[in-house]
Structure 1
């Protein structure tokens, strides 16, 4: 038996060990292995052993006890849960023995959650679902989930779009309050009776869009004058029915943009507005915001004005119809020859001017997907951009740049679309790039539109025999919304905005609001930078959702083609490998060179990967074999087949 002194010593040792322990709040950081880390407020990361990691999900906020292990390394034991950020999530039902689980589609969560019988909601193995955590694993490491909604099986038509819609929480339905508010506005507001609206119904506007488009945002008309042309861009005017700050506008703003999937779409505005009351439909009187632009014979955009008007579109024409007419192969549109011929002349002048004095995005081979009755890709065909599409694009750019100048001249807070050119966080690399390939520009300011345009023109000509125009992309910023006017370097314009799609984009809707405030002599500013930041996030989320569904559809299309060979072009390259774009169908996938026997060295200044025997370079052709398709991770993997000889030293 221990005497009193021994017991006292043991108690003292125990008290010392307790005193040495540290208790703290932390965020759980997951890893690809079973262990994790507790990230403390002071930046420390404390190891969480696998058994303890079973008690939490990544990103959980927990209370931990930090103690030394046998090797004096600090470890964290999870004591209690503070907050779990996982709400509703999507996943797939999987089976293990007789038990059903949900495999979450969540970043860094790789464990399955048990589905007790009472929480399955009729789900079957293989079904995709929306779920929620029913029981957190904090007590015993055994989490449970409940099925909220069964979305469908893997072969259900449109399951890719349905799952992505749920995953990104994209709202499709409208609240009853917003719907009631809209009906009240439609009954009360009579825009065609407003005295301030100018009657432009005598102008032969036509809309040119995809054949299936119902939410027609714009219609066009042009006529010649002594100095060139007058171009009229009529734009739908939904703002006349929507009260500023109303519940309806709040729900529209929360969406931020229409989301387009292959075979489906989620509209930003209720169909009562976007497809019925406001769409510039054929032979219907509509309220519109019209931009009237003077275009010179040389294609320069001159004086412009914005007009609140009433218009009537004479026809809903498709891109294909107009393209066939412009090429002389479609006489059925002769009744619309007057506006179409003038629009074609305006387009040619605008395009020629932009190519000569500004910057035009390089044409790239496009691909058209043809969907089957199951809403899966049936086949893909190459598709060159039509002249009619370019015509509409030039007219929209003319209206949008006029919008930016109008807002800037009247001291309005946009929204403007700014593209600042070169990334400031990579200024040293930019300087090295310029010094190496464009030494004449070393001393010139790169944030001036004229210099940026000259640089891009030179790079497109590839003076060094390298794909310089593609190589510089990693050094460029993305376009962003701003309350302050500034250059759009990518177009070589002093400022730019968007106003031609108010039925589909909230930024365009806000631009309309600002324009009409000026027309009505109202001083209130309607846009803030914080508002635009939130809007940018929503638009980015919608774009990510659309791309996610698209990647999944590509995987489904390619999954039975494993082992096939393809001709491709290297579209992106880094130290680990490269991305290829298949010439046959435009689908992209990855070639990972990290696991091949030979070692490749990466050279950023030639955009190449070189081994002793082979070289792969950006924009070069390469022949590849499809090796793996993983619909879960949306990955398409290839391996190179064609030996690319390395450059000779002689």
Structure 2
């Protein structure tokens, strides 16, 4: 046995070793393999071998020490767990011998995790399950999980949506306090507020939307005047019925946005509010925040004002019906509309045409890429994918909404703060590549600085239809930064505007709802609780998560639908390129699939400037917007990825392949 002095010396030695040990803080990054990395706070990545990855989970904050292995390569050894943000995940239930496990389907967890007997919730093999980390694997590399909920089995109707909700920790039901608040509201609440507002119920407002839409948050009218048009945009006013910081408002902030899942949306507000009491239903008195604005003959905006009002929509018009009135087609529904409505629609169309012309000259328009609509069957899987045709009514609504939102941005900008949607243009780490691109392939544009908002707008305008060896505008568009929310006004370079915000969808987006609060507080001293920086970050993260969830479900459903393509040859265009291959978007239905370079003869190199893949020997290239012909190869159900096989021409050259695809539109 060690005496007291020896034990004291040993403790001191351990303390000295710990004090002298060099540790690095970082965040665990998983890979598709069993190994991983630690993104050190000092800015470099440190390799984590499989035995160390067994001790951590993706996103863990840890301390590591750096060591050199037998081959002289640096690797990390986990020293201390600081924080583990990953608490819940989804997977499949697996029974192997006497062991019960969850096979995670959360990216980065590449191991089975044991489920103790008390925490199995009567799950059956192959059930999709929602789990919580019960024991972190840090100490011995043997983590444990407990089942919180059995989601269902593969193949059940709607399982894809239920699994997606669980994957992204999205609740379907409303908290009791929110439901209670919604249930307590009635038409009497509208009547109680209406008396303090301007009555505009006799004016010929109409809503223009899809026939299935129930949460109608905008109604329009226009009339000609001496210098152009007075356009009035009435926006649903849920803030009038919901007290600041009430349960429903807090839940709307948490949800951030309605999620338009195929077939069945997840709303931001309870239906009693979003589809009944606040929706601008036809022939029904509703509360609105109205923006009246002058649209000049050249499409520029003149004076504007905001007003609290009550409105009564004179009709719920579909896009097709509105377009038929604009085009002068005489259908029974069009004939039944009041003359005041058809006259207003004609003036709206003229004003919108002028607004669009102004944006073409002075700002930026988004590209008219073909869109597609998913039609689901009784099992909530894709029955059909059909084109979503954009007509004049779609463009009319878009221009009116953009114009009203520009007015809101100007109003808040004059006060120096608010809530703005900003866009910094190109990603900062891609600007040098774009400068090189312009110098080599578009010398007439080389003097432009892509980091400048004005020059970026000019670049996007002048690169439209540019005759160059590479598709300059498509390459630039593939390297844009993400839009951001900000309390301070800043350019929205993607739209080519000096400032922008949105207030036209308060039933669907919390940021729009919040802008209503800001406008009301500034004009009518209505109470509001400002968002903090932390809340703004959380709101933006929730918006991103919502988009990811919608894309995830849509991608899953498309993967299930893809086998119906069979062996039929399909034309498409290259939509994205990466070093490992390229993605093709089919012309007929918009499905995107991957063509791996491994399936092509020879080797290809990737150019980060032109985003081209080039054969290292014969020079054959694949680049953005190139037409190609493909067939379905397979579907990777684990990665939820459709894989295509390129249909080769007789010679297999790039030019012949392009010509073949172009000849089969």
User: Under TM normalisation by the shorter chain, which class is it?
Assistant: 0.7 to 0.9
Structure 2 match to 1:107: 107
RMSD: 3.5
Structure 2 match to 1:622: 628
CA distance in 1: counterparts of 2:578 and 2:505, whole angstroms = 37
Alignment length (residue pairs): 636
Structure 1 residue 493 and structure 2 residue 494: aligned? no
Give the superposition deviation at 1:608.
2.7
Structure 2 unaligned runs (5+)?
1-8, 657-665
Q: Which string of whole-angstrom CA distances, capped at 9 and with x for unpartnered residues, describes residues 341-376 of structure 1?
A: 222222223223323433221211121211111110
Structure 1 residue 374 and structure 2 residue 383: aligned? no
Q: Which string of whole-angstrom CA distances, capped at 9 and with x for unpartnered residues, describes residues 605-625 of structure 1?
A: 554322234322221111223
Alignment CA distance shift 1:536-1:74 (3 Å): closer
CA contact (8 A) 1:257 1:267 kept: yes
CA contact (8 A) 1:562 1:628 kept: no
Further displaced range: 142-151 or 440-449: 440-449
Further displaced range: 506-515 or 112-121: 112-121
CA distance in 2: counterparts of 1:370 and 1:428, whole angstroms = 43
Give the superposition deviation at 1:486.
2.4
CA distance in 1: counterparts of 2:528 and 2:193, whole angstroms = 25
Structure 2 match to 1:122: 122
CA contact (8 A) 2:194 2:309 kept: no
CA contact (8 A) 2:416 2:489 kept: no
CA distance in 1: counterparts of 2:243 and 2:323, whole angstroms = 40
Give the superposition deviation at 1:499.
0.8
Structure 1 residue 461 and structure 2 residue 469: aligned? no
Give the superposition deviation at 1:638.
1.8
Structure 1 residue 428 and structure 2 residue 429: aligned? no
Alignment CA distance shift 1:412-1:309 (3 Å): farther
Structure 2 match to 1:580: 584
CA distance in 1: counterparts of 2:533 and 2:62, whole angstroms = 35
CA distance in 1: counterparts of 2:539 and 2:323, whole angstroms = 35
Structure 2 match to 1:392: 397
Q: What SS is found at the alignment partner of 2:540?
A: helix
The aligned runs of 1:16-35 (5 Å cut-off) are 30-34=30-34
Structure 2 match to 1:346: 351
Give the superposition deviation at 1:450.
4.8
Give the superposition deviation at 1:492.
2.3
TM-score, normalised with respect to structure 1: 0.87
Structure 2 match to 1:3: none
CA contact (8 A) 2:435 2:450 kept: no
Give the superposition deviation at 1:503.
0.6
CA distance in 2: counterparts of 1:277 and 1:518, whole angstroms = 25
Alignment CA distance shift 1:329-1:581 (3 Å): farther
Structure 1 match to 2:316: 316
Further displaced range: 53-62 or 292-301: 53-62
CA contact (8 A) 2:324 2:334 kept: no
Structure 1 match to 2:333: 332
Structure 2 match to 1:297: 297
Structure 1 residue 502 and structure 2 residue 506: aligned? yes
Q: What SS is found at the alignment partner of 2:399?
A: helix
Q: Which string of whole-angstrom CA distances, capped at 9 and with x for unpartnered residues, describes residues 219-275 of structure 1?
A: 111122232221111100011122223333222111111111001111111222111
CA contact (8 A) 2:136 2:143 kept: yes
Structure 2 match to 1:645: 653
Alignment CA distance shift 1:112-1:195 (3 Å): same
Give the superposition deviation at 1:104.
1.1
Structure 2 match to 1:556: 560
TM-score, normalised with respect to structure 2: 0.85
Alignment CA distance shift 1:97-1:42 (3 Å): same
CA distance in 2: counterparts of 1:469 and 1:177, whole angstroms = 50
CA distance in 1: counterparts of 2:547 and 2:47, whole angstroms = 37
Q: What SS is found at the alignment partner of 1:91?
A: strand
Q: What SS is found at the alignment partner of 1:216?
A: coil
CA contact (8 A) 1:192 1:286 kept: no
Give the superposition deviation at 1:90.
1.2
Give the superposition deviation at 1:585.
1.2
Q: What SS is found at the alignment partner of 1:375?
A: coil
Q: What SS is found at the alignment partner of 2:515?
A: helix
Alignment CA distance shift 1:289-1:81 (3 Å): closer
CA contact (8 A) 2:485 2:536 kept: yes
Structure 2 match to 1:260: 260
Structure 1 residue 165 and structure 2 residue 162: aligned? no
The aligned runs of 1:78-477 (5 Å cut-off) are 84-97=84-97, 99-137=99-137, 141-182=141-182, 189-190=189-190, 193-327=193-327, 328=329, 330-334=331-335, 335-336=337-338, 337-409=342-414, 411-443=415-447, 446=450, 450-477=454-481
CA contact (8 A) 1:28 1:56 kept: yes
CA distance in 2: counterparts of 1:489 and 1:66, whole angstroms = 43
Further displaced range: 470-479 or 375-384: 470-479
Q: What SS is found at the alignment partner of 1:469?
A: helix
Alignment CA distance shift 1:66-1:301 (3 Å): closer
Give the superposition deviation at 1:435.
3.0
CA contact (8 A) 2:257 2:546 kept: yes
Give the superposition deviation at 1:646.
4.6
Q: What SS is found at the alignment partner of 2:494?
A: helix
Structure 1 match to 2:524: 520
Alignment CA distance shift 1:527-1:434 (3 Å): farther
Structure 1 residue 636 and structure 2 residue 637: aligned? no
Q: What SS is found at the alignment partner of 1:171?
A: coil
